[in-house]
Structure formats: C-alpha cells, structure tokens
Amino acid sequence: MTSADSAPPRAQREMVSLMAARVRDAVLRKPHFTDAGTDLVTLCRDLSAQGITDALVRDGARLGIFTATDLVGALTRDRPPSALTVGEFTHFEPWSVGADDALYDAMLLMLRHRIHRVLVRDGGQVVGILSQLDLMGFVANHSHLISAEVAQAGTVVELARPAGQVEGLIRVLHGDGVRIEIIAGLVGGLNRQIFRRLWDLLAPEPLRANSCLIVMGSEGRSEQIIRTDQDNALILRDGFDFPGLDRITAAFTEALIGFGYPPCPGGIMLSRPLWCQSVEGFGAVLYDWVHGSDPEGPMNLAIFLDAASVAGDEALLGQVQDRLRRVLTGGDSYYARFAAAIQQFGSGSEGGWWRRLPGLRGPEAAEIDLKKLGIFPVVHGTRALALQYGIPAQPTAERLRLLAGAGRIDAGLARDLTDALHCMMGLKLASNLSQIAAGRAPDNSIRPVDLGTLDRQALRDSLNIVRDFKRWLAQHYRLDAL
C-alpha cells in the first residue's frame, strides 16, 4: 500500500481539492499600487492604513513588488526613510501566475523559488496578489482549519477572514462530488461556530450567561448552504435587563452582513424587538402566533420550530419550547391549518409542468422557483408532522427518519422524500454557484432547460414525489375541508 493509499480520507479529499482548484478559486487580495518615486514613510503610512504588507510599484512600463522584507533592508541605510524612494528597493519583474492556472502549480512555484507571494494575471492585467498566507487560507477552506481560525479570531475583523472562506469550502466540496447532506452539515456547523464566536466578541459575559442565541429556519435545520438571509433571535432570561442591548444586537447583525450573510427581508433578526425578548415575552408571542389573527403568525411559528441553540444558556430555548407545547395542547385543528401552507405554491396535484420536463418547450423552459415548487412542500409538510407528533427540531431528513420509526409515515415514502430533498438541494446549490460566478445574487430560481438529461429526469422524479406527498398530506389533514 502506498503512502497516499494509507492517508486519511479527509487528507485525500483535501489533496484532490487542491489539485483540482484554480488560482481564481483562492481568496485573492486586491493589490495596492504606488509610484516608484513615493517615499518610504508615505508608503508605510498607506500600507498601515490598509492593514497590508506589500505594494505593487509602477516605474514607467515596469511593474515590481515591494514587501516588508524590502523595508527591513531599507532601514539599514544611513539616510532617513523619508529621503528614500520605494523604487530603490523594489524587485521588478516579479513572479506571476494566471488566474486559471492550477493552484497546486502556484504553490510549487513559491516553494521552488522560495518566494512568499506571486502576482495573479488575467488577460494580461494584474487582478490580485496570491501570498502563501492566501494559499494556506484556501487550504483552510476545509472545515477543521476554518474552525481553528474561527476559534483563534480575537476581533470581528479577524473573524471576517474565516467567515469569508466558507463559500470557497462549498465550491471545493461541491466540485469534489461530496454529498449534499455532508456539505450542508459541515457548512451549518461552521456557521454556528462563526455566530458563536461573533457573539462572544460582542456580548459581555453577563449578557451571554443570561441569554440564548438561536438560529432558525433553514439555518437551524442545517439546510442553508449558500447564504441567502439571516434567521436568528435572542432569548433573554426573565427579569434580566441589559443596558445598551440594542447597540450590541445591531452590531451583531451588521457584522454578519459584513461577513456576507444578507439581512433577512422579513426582519427575522435579533436586532428587531420581536426577535429579542424574554422567555415570557416569547411565550406570549407564540400564543398569539397559534391563536391570534396575525397572518404572519404561521410563518413565524414555522421558522421558530427549526430553532437551534448557538450560544448562551440552551435551557432558555427549552423553556420557550415547553411553553409552545402547552399552547398546542388539544390543537388538532391548528395542525391542519399549519400544514395547509403546502398548497400555496404550484398547480396542485394534477397537470404539473414537471410531467413534461424531458423535452422542454415553450413556457416550460422558463425559470422556476425550486424552493416553492419542491423544497418547501417537503420541508414544511415534514415540519407539520413533526409538530403534530412531538418530534424535536432536526434536519428534515432526521425528522423523516424519526417519523418513519414511530410509524407516522411510510418508511418508503420517507426515504423517497429524503432523496428528493437532497436532489433538489443539490440542483439549487449548483444553480447558486453558477449565479455567483456570473455575478448574480443567488436565489431559488433554476432553468430546467439548462439541466442535463439525467438532472432533468431526477428533477422530474423528485417533483413527482413531492406531488404524491402533498396528496398524502391533504388526505392526512383533510385539507380539502378547510
């Protein structure tokens, strides 16, 4: 057996990822340009303001690089730094690589010539600088290394770096063919570590000890892979008051936005008063969501049902969930109304466009909302059953497994729904990555005409499973009688 054969599976996957990755896949730093005639004091002031240690130097048609190592050499001169120009200490014609070159080749280039950074060119233009730190940052696009960097972050600014590497991890693992549920689990775990570390950095210890930070919705289920919004809340201990709380929660939301987590369009964030309350306050809100007339109540309840503790006293979340269970006692009619949301999207159980998926023509080739037509009915239908039968908040696949184990749903249907959900999550992820590569914001749309034959067939099969599940739910809850 060779040494490669005996390597751990994780290490093998990381090496394959590095071998297949391109330079543009790494986090490239935008270069800082300066003229050769700039004095060293001015340049050092500029570099310090930007928190970087190198600059690209223009000298006519020549382009060079000045680094902190060059500065050390300059300080040995007899003249003061203000009398020295950058051009005197710049290395012109630095090593460079193409944006589409293999990242592994860039690493070998650095090792072979004992250099710490290379220029990255695309079409003859310098588009960034790749340093050894940047390259190691790409290698850190693997969960255990990102996790270590998150734990070591001492400031919000330092935390931004590992947070920014999660998308690279997603792209690499997807390119390696890693199963969608594994990617979702890894990303969900990393996101929670980032949220926890951010909360530790922003919230004083008394606040952390008397509150529970939770994530909800797809983030709570560990089914949100590409960042689409924030769904989080803060539960406070009854009787606890913290001056300046609104400032801290606002800073938390703004930091996540800076990390690339978009704000929730519906305002489901702990910086909003509705989602930052005491146990008693949340109990009253839950009662209103179940028994009140607020049209947003069922949606808010659905999001809260997927809550998972991230930081603080997890018992506070348990107290709110206990209150919800008491509110729902004897609420059989509510379960049906709650489940009825599965019928709000799509064309019902008959005549669905997916019956004609292979061989798309005319309007069938348009973009469709995969979440509304496929993912949401599976997630929400399963969530309604879990609520009815007291299945604790879990990823949808785990809920289905537990429901089947309890005899609440046919085991074969549960397996089919799990496969269908993972198929649609995979198609959505592929579409999101393509949208991001094209400079578009990721959303739930997908163009069936752009899918290969096998993917179109898989989508058709998945949506047929969704159709059958909606029929089953309609019978189970007698939705036609509502």
- What's the CATH code of the domain at 81? 3.10.580.10
Is residue 126 assigned to a domain? yes
Contact 12, 18 (CB under 8 A): no
Is residue 143 assigned to a domain? no
Rounded Cα gap, residues 435 and 199, in angstroms: 31
- Do both 263 and 393 map to the same domain? no
Rounded Cα gap, residues 208 and 321, in angstroms: 20
- Do both 194 and 216 map to the same domain? yes
pLDDT in tens, 62-97: 999 998 888 888 888 888 888 889 988 888 888 899
Q: What number of other Cβ atoms are within 10 A of residue 438's Cβ?
A: 7
Q: Provide CB contacts within 8 A for 268, sequence distance 6+.
A: 216, 217, 229, 230, 231, 232, 233, 275, 300, 303
pLDDT of res. 330: 66
Q: Provide CB contacts within 8 A for 254, sequence distance 6+.
A: none
Is residue 8 assigned to a domain? no
- Do both 260 and 174 map to the same domain? yes
Query: Which of the listed residues 86, 108, 138 is the one where a domain comes to its end?
Result: 138
pLDDT of res. 266: 87
- Do both 291 and 376 map to the same domain? no
According to DSSP, the residues that pair with 54 across neighbouring strands are: 67
Q: Is the model's pTM score more than 0.85?
A: no
- Do both 363 and 316 map to the same domain? no
pLDDT of res. 134: 72
Is residue 147 assigned to a domain? no
Give the amino acid at 468: D
Is residue 405 assigned to a domain? yes
Query: Which of the listed residues 97, 113, 138 is the one where a domain comes to its end?
Result: 138
- Do both 447 and 362 map to the same domain? yes
* DSSP element (H, E) containing 127: strand 125-131
Query: Which of the listed residues 138, 173, 208 is the one where a domain comes to its end?
Result: 138
According to DSSP, the residues that pair with 459 across neighbouring strands are: none
- Do both 99 and 191 map to the same domain? no
pLDDT of res. 24: 83
pLDDT of res. 350: 37
- Do both 163 and 284 map to the same domain? yes
DSSP labels for 73-101? HHTTSSS-GGG-BGGGG-EES--EEETTS
Is residue 302 assigned to a domain? no
- Do both 98 and 178 map to the same domain? no
* DSSP element (H, E) containing 168: helix 166-175
- Do both 19 and 108 map to the same domain? yes
Could you list the residue range(s) of the whole structural domain that residue 455 is in? 336-349+356-477
pLDDT of res. 463: 93
- Do both 178 and 49 map to the same domain? no
Is residue 277 assigned to a domain? yes
Q: What is the CATH number of the domain that holds 390?
A: 1.20.120
Contact 424, 370 (CB under 8 A): yes
- Do both 407 and 340 map to the same domain? yes
- Show pLDDT as tens, one digit a residue, over the chain (482 residues): 333 343 344 444 554 455 567 888 777 888 889 999 999 999 998 888 888 888 999 998 899 999 888 888 888 888 888 888 998 888 888 889 999 888 878 887 887 777 888 999 988 889 889 887 777 656 544 566 678 788 889 999 999 988 988 888 888 788 878 889 988 988 998 899 999 999 999 999 999 999 999 999 999 999 999 988 889 999 999 999 999 999 999 999 999 999 999 998 889 999 999 999 999 999 999 999 998 888 888 899 999 999 999 999 999 999 999 999 898 876 678 898 899 988 877 544 333 433 333 333 444 447 888 999 999 999 999 999 999 999 987 799 999 999 999 999 999 999 999 999 999 999 999 999 999 989 998 999 898 888 999 999 999 999 999 999 999 999 999 987 66
Is residue 282 assigned to a domain? yes
Domain count of the fold of the chain:
3
